Structure 1
Amino acid sequence: MSASPNVLVVDDEPGMLRYMKTVLELDSYKVSTAHCGEDAIQSVRDGAAPDLVLLDLVMPGIDGLQTLEQLRRLRPDLKVVMLSCVSDPSKVVRAIQLGAHNYLTKPFQKSDLDQIMQQSLRTAASTEPLGEVEELGDDLFFLAASPVMQKIRAQVKTIANVDVPVLMLGESGTGKEIVARLIHKSSARSHRTFLKVNCAALPTELLESELFGYEVGAFTGATRSKPGKFEQCDKGTILLDEIGEMSPNLQAKLLHVLQDQEFSRLGGRSSVKVNVRILAATNIDVQQAIASKQLREDLYYRLNAFTIKIPPLRDRKDEIPTLLRHFMTRFAESYARSPLSFSPALLEECQRYSWPGNLRELSNFVKRYLILGDEAWAIHELRSGTSSKEASSATQSAAGGLKNIVRNLKDEAESQAIARALEQTGWNRKEAAVMLNISYKALLYKIRQYNIGAPAARPAAFRAKLGM
């Protein structure tokens, strides 16, 4: 980037062109202008190479969206910021889909223009450093450690303040909830409530009362009225996870909320008005679900105002070393342990492995490696696909609930850590308790809880899992 970036301003209002040219030249930008989309396109076609285009959305002739589309066709890397006095979310969304870098609503303050200019003209390295962590609360974080995740973060930052539904697509464990939380945190609703509802975790009747609430007498046991998640989320954001698992009847009621932001509680006669931003996520094949009537087509198009596709971890393996180190640092701090390093051999196996469970599986792998502290075991687990089998087993047992899955994973890792500590101390239980940083009584209790016996008495499968 040169010391004085070249900026092309495209607007059909002469007064706006003069104003923009004056204020930008005072800030040492080199400014050229065009009074219509056709002139801007011809300028770029003739060899002009602006670093940034400030493009009005509403113009006679070809409008801003058509101009944007043609400019991006001529220069796919061209950064374009849309200017508009029309606050039409659908047009803003369309501009982002066509590749607009950002947008600015007229009338705007000079400080707003300055901020947009600075954000847009920074190099990729300075704007979105690889590996930059954004904390989201509840021990969740967004880590843009690859170009594709940088692009998703840029999309999120742009779409966050456009109050439209967003649909997140991706395999289980790719981080759809994390993207949803990033949207909420980056939006004007960030100081309001964010709630996640897992549509696959509850039967239809319970899910309906959970979402919409109920009145006294709505069903047996309804002795008092209760607001639903939509009411609790008023002026905030709700994430409907696994939206494809919602029943068709409930999908119809949700469609009404999307259209009118209005619904009735179960057993209620009056309507409840809310102001909620709806985000949805699913790992199903959407087109197949529509064809099989599992997902209503009209609901899909309502949710599909903007779609973010999150790729699986196997398609962004350049992230793996950064993610491994970051998870290790977090877990070491949580468990008050010294972080372990990843040798070149272990990193190579991690890069080679396909991670069918995506970020969730990677996170659990790092947790087990930290607790067991055995690199040979970790490499063996990756080569044998044990990690994948555990991820598959966890998925298959989802009917037992998320808490049950997490508890099983924790128990398995804990029992392995205790067994290994006992082996390393020659079954000196006091030394093992010190090594594990728990009391002697707690260790005895857990030995009984997990039925951990002497080495010869233990099943061969258990000994094999420990590498014995």
Structure 2
Amino acid sequence: MDRIAVLVVDDEESVRTFLGELLGGAGYQVRCASNGAQALEMLEGGSFDAVLLDVVMPEMSGLEVLRRYRSSGGNAPVIVLSALAGADDAVRAMKMGASDYLAKPFGNDELEDVLARALGTRAPARQAVAPGPSRQSTLVQEGLGETRAIVSTSPSMRRARALVERIADTDVPVLLLGESGTGKEVIAREIHARSQRRSRPFIKVNCAALPGELLESELFGHERGAFTGATAEKPGKFELADQGTIFLDEIGEMAIRLQAKLLQVLQDEEFFRVGGKKSVRVDSRVVVATNRDLEKEIALGNFREDLYYRLNVVAIRLPTLRERMEDVVPLTDHFLKKYGRNYIQGVSELPSEVLRAFTEYEWPGNVRELENMVRRLCALKDPTMVLDELREGRTPASAPSLPTAYAGEGSSANVRAPEPEPVRAQPVPATQVLEMPSRGGASAQPSPASSISELFANPAPQIRYANPFDIPQPPPPPLTMPVAEMSLKDIGKRAAMLAEREAILAMLQRTAWNKRKAAGKLRISYKALLYKIKECGIVDPRASAEF
């Protein structure tokens, strides 16, 4: 198969060299032009599948190159690259027929994703991968490239797709809910691809990637001199998404102050750039996503209730991969085909024991983790290396039987070891804390104060670990003040710490003291777990065991 030809047009040699090496290493055939005239000459005399075009160039600007190219009948997708000297350049480029826009500097993955989407709309025959009939899986091409396809046989995903089809053309805001890696961006792109805005831009913004001040400028743009470093006007993502769709990922991370401005845009369809005095009107469909519980965030004061109800017109919850384990095999097959083209002599199929391990693993990182695992398999070309990794951290999960085509004759794919009985701390009887002395004076029940003191001084029986590092844990950190002087809030914090300590100890035992796996199962960050371990006075037995 011929390699996809890309023309890079930029007046800076360092940029041309970088993009040439990056895209060449990714399998593209790359040619470069240093100015607009040379680019038009090469476009007229050659056949290119895509063009990466810088806007700001001497003699002839990128916008003029784009105008002349489209006027001459050129229809290859053009991706505009620029730091933007003028506020309207990106908007003008999109209206003149540019397929997408990237502001410099941009990440390698971001460039590859944008290029893959552009090529998917122009060359579906090259990008499409049709599933075999024996899989009975559903693959929905988004019109945005094969790299973003929905592969699923599960009823929960069928319901989500049915809802997408129903609301795609309605222009209502959509709230996508689900854990990280469940495919919220894929669904957002599918909504855009099925809407009447499909020919207009799809702009993604990760609200967790930038602090509030920078995020405001990224969303709404800024005027020249609005702040230190604002040497030129810059349009925001809402302007670039005019007539199209803007996807706000990790909306739960947005600062309260910025949420008020977003609410204004949703209500009035207009806003002010940072440092601007003139309102800007836009017509952008808004799709947002979060892995947080927004109702809980509202109760904590971290999210505006009025913004939540404005966004929550249609909510789509995406199931975790462990809730749709029947999709593991079709997804694995899909990713093998996808990445098998990128690596010479890559893995074309997996041994049955690897697939069996895949279906017994819980996939805390969901589809993204599975995709990365398959990509690693294709690069390493040694399934046993990944199999060892899965065996070290595998937790049995409820999964359907493997298809015969994968399990093979006499396979033990359907046989599972029983789930180990979790270690449980002994609960403190409620009467120790809740029951009050009788009115008769003397009572066999302890007083509330002494009960709390006893609870804090003698927490639940210590967990002992049946592993090579089975050593007693030290007692929890001592109280900083007498219980009688503690406020109700302090008492609650102390009780919560003791409960968290027992839960963390139990999970560390389950994972053989693998802190990263324990953090994933407890659904907190690795850094937060390390802090909790220190706060609770937990000692890693591997650091103190004698060998």
TM-score bracket, shorter-length normalisation: 0.5 to 0.7
Shift of the 133–336 alpha-carbon distance from structure 1 to 2, 3 Å rule, reads: farther
Q: Does the Cα contact within 8 Å between 1:196 and 1:238 map onto a contact in 2? A: yes
Question: Number of residues paired by the alignment?
Answer: 271
Residues 251 and 289, structure 2, Cα contact 8 Å, conserved in 1: yes
Does structure 1 residue 209 correspond to structure 2 residue 221? Answer: no
1:130 corresponds to: 137
Pair 1:287-2:267 in alignment: no
Query: Given that residues 160 and 316 in structure 2 are in contact (C-alpha distance below 8 angstroms), is that contact kept between their aligned partners in structure 1?
Result: yes
Q: In the aligned structure 2, how far is the partner of 1:208 from the partner of 1:333?
A: 40
> Residues 133 and 144 of structure 1 are in contact (CA less than 8 Å); yes or no, is this contact kept in structure 2?
no
The residue identity in structure 2 corresponding to 1:337 is: Q
Which SS does the other structure have where 2:319 is aligned? coil
| Contact 1:136 1:142 survives alignment (8 Å) | no
Identity %, equivalent residues: 50
Other-structure match for 1:252: 260
- Is residue 309 of structure 1 aligned with residue 317 of structure 2? yes
Does residue 165 of the first structure (1) align with residue 173 of the second (2)?
Answer: yes
Deviates more, 1:383-392 or 1:284-293: 383-392
Q: What residue number does 1:355 align with?
A: 363
- For 2:215 and 2:301, the matched residues in 1 are separated by 20
Please tell me the residue identity of whatever aligns with 1:263.
F
Q: After superposition, where does 1:212-291 map in structure 2 within 5 Å?
A: 212-291=220-299
Deviation at 1:386, TM superposition (A): 8.1
> Secondary structure at the residue paired with 1:154?
helix
Which amino acid letter does the alignment assign opposite residue 188 of structure 1? Q
**3-state SS in 2 of match to 1:137:** coil
Give a deviation string over 1:153-209, Cα, whole Å, max 9, x none: 111111000110000000001000000000000000000000110000001000000
Letter in 1 for 2:297: A
Is 1:177 the counterpart of 2:159? The answer is no
Structure 1 position 368, deviation (Å): 1.3
Superposition deviation, residue 142 in structure 1: 1.7
> Does 2:383 match 1:375?
yes
Q: Do the aligned partners of residues 248 and 222 (structure 1) sit closer, same or farther apart at CA in structure 2, a change above 3 Å counting?
A: same
Q: Deviation digits for residues 314-350 of structure 1, max 9, x if unmatched?
A: 0000000000010001000122334332233222211
| 2:333 aligned residue (325, 340, 351) | 325
Question: What's the TM-score, normalizing by structure 1?
Answer: 0.55
Spell out, residue by residue over 1:86-121, the C-alpha distance to the aligned partner (whole angstroms, 9 max, x if none): xxxxxxxxxxxxxxxxxxxxxxxxxxxxxxxxxxxx
Q: What's 2:155 paired with?
A: 147
Q: Out of 348, 358, 367, which is 1:340 matched to?
A: 348
Q: CA offset at residue 373 of structure 1?
A: 2.4
CA shift at 1:240, angstroms? 0.4
In structure 2, C-alpha distance between the alignment counterparts of 1:262 and 1:336, rounded to whole Å: 51
| AA at the equivalent of 1:218 | A
Query: Residue 142 of structure 2 contacts residue 193 of structure 2 at CA under 8 Å; is this kept in 1?
Result: no
CA offset at residue 267 of structure 1?
Answer: 0.8
> Which residue identity does 1:232 align to in structure 2?
L
Report the structure number with the largest CA radius of gyration.
2
- The 1:220–1:207 alpha-carbon spacing in structure 2 relative to 1, beyond 3 Å, is same
- Answer whether contact 1:340 1:373 (CA < 8 A) is retained: no
Q: Distance in 2 between matches of 1:136 and 1:381?
A: 36
Deviations 1:255-313 (A, max 9, x none): 00011111001111111110000000000112211100111111010000000000100
Amino acid at match of 2:225: G
Q: Which residue of 2 aligns with 1:417?
A: none
Which amino acid in structure 1 is aligned with residue 164 of structure 2? V
4+ residue runs over 6 A deviation: 390-393
Aligned-pair CA distance for 1:397? 9.0
Mark the CA change 1:324 to 1:285 in structure 2 (over 3 Å): closer, same or farther.
same
Q: CA contact under 8 A between 2:347 and 2:377: conserved in structure 1? A: no
Query: Residue 459 of structure 2 aligns with which residue?
Result: none
- Answer whether contact 1:134 1:143 (CA < 8 A) is retained: no
Instruction: Calculate the TM-score normalised by the size of structure 2.
Output: 0.47
Using the TM superposition, name which of 131-140 and 283-292 deviates more.
Answer: 131-140
Q: Which residue identity is paired with 1:310?
A: L
Higher helix share: 1
* Residue 152 to residue 350, structure 1, CA distance change in 2 (3 Å): same
User: SS of the residue aligned with 1:354?
Assistant: coil
Q: State the distance in 2 between where 1:153 and 1:189 align.
A: 18
For 1:427, the equivalent position in structure 2 comes to: none
Are 1:136 and 1:181, in contact at CA under 8 Å, matched by a contact in 2? no
Structure 1 counterpart of 2:257, one-letter code: N
Q: CA deviation at 1:375?
A: 2.8
Give the whole-Å Cα distance in 2 for the aligned partners of 1:145 and 1:333. Answer: 24
CA RMSD for the aligned pairs?
Answer: 2.5
The alpha-carbon distance between structure 1 residues 221 and 397, as it changes in their structure 2 partners (threshold 3 A), is: farther
Kept in 1: contact 2:168–2:191 (CA 8 A): yes
Distance 1:130 1:249 in 2: 44
Unaligned runs of 5+ in 1: 1-125, 399-468
Q: Equivalents in 1 of 2:204, 2:289: separation in Å?
A: 10
Q: How does 1:313-462 map to 2 (within 5 A)?
A: 313-385=321-393, 389=516
| 8 Å Cα contact 2:137-2:330 kept in structure 1 | no
Q: Deviations over 1:51-104 (max 9, x none)?
A: xxxxxxxxxxxxxxxxxxxxxxxxxxxxxxxxxxxxxxxxxxxxxxxxxxxxxx
